[in-house]
Amino acid sequence: MVDTTIMETFNGSRGSETDMTTIGKRAFARRKDLGLTQKFIAEQLKVSPNTYSNYESDKRKIEADMIPKLAKLLKTTTSYLLGESDDPEETKFEAAMRFSDMEIKILRTLNLSDDDTKNLTDEQIREIRAFIEFQISRHRERK
């Protein structure tokens, strides 16, 4: 089980301060932003609507292995749900430890949109990183 309490306050997109201290509250807000129902999310997670409702209302703690599935359904990151990030739409470019600043600059020159990067698999990220590292080493050999 994951403790859903996060010690922070979230500033909402409209500038109003909203209490976003738990996974449940963040999931609720994100689900509402996307116009999804509790029933839909519950079906996708293979839990009862009552169970999912209890996650959002913090009456029940969400299983740790459920968090990545929930993040994917809510088109967000686990970092957002866990309170490590206040950006629910953080792209893979911006996610910590995904790409270095230099790699981001290189990838931006390839005109990859944020939507393109959101859909990259871990394998594709490894391939891109390997390609960039190869190009950098090749460039250094020329000097």
What is the C-alpha separation between 19 and 16, in angstroms, rounded?
10
More confidently predicted of 70 and 111: 70
Q: What is the pLDDT of residues 80-136, one digit of tens each?
A: 888 877 777 755 444 444 566 666 677 777 777 666 776 777 778 778 878 877 877
Task: Return the bridge partners of 11, or none.
Answer: 17
Domain 10-81 superfamily per CATH = lambda repressor-like DNA-binding domains (1.10.260.40)
All structural domains of the chain with their residue ranges? 10-81, 101-142
Q: Average pLDDT of 49-58?
A: 95
Listed range (12-26, 57-71, 110-124) with the worst mean pLDDT: 12-26
22 within 8 A of 5, measured Cβ to Cβ: yes
To which H or E segment does residue 73 belong? helix 67-73
> What does the angle CA 134 – CA 118 – CA 131 come to, to the nearest 5 degrees?
5
Write down the pLDDT at residue 7.
37
Is there a contact between 27 and 56 (Cβ–Cβ < 8 Å)? yes
Using alpha carbons only, what angle is made at residue 79 by residues 77 and 82, rounded to the nearest 5 degrees? 115
**Between the CA of residue 125 and those of 42, 75, 96, 99, 128, what are the distances in Å?**
30, 18, 13, 9, 5
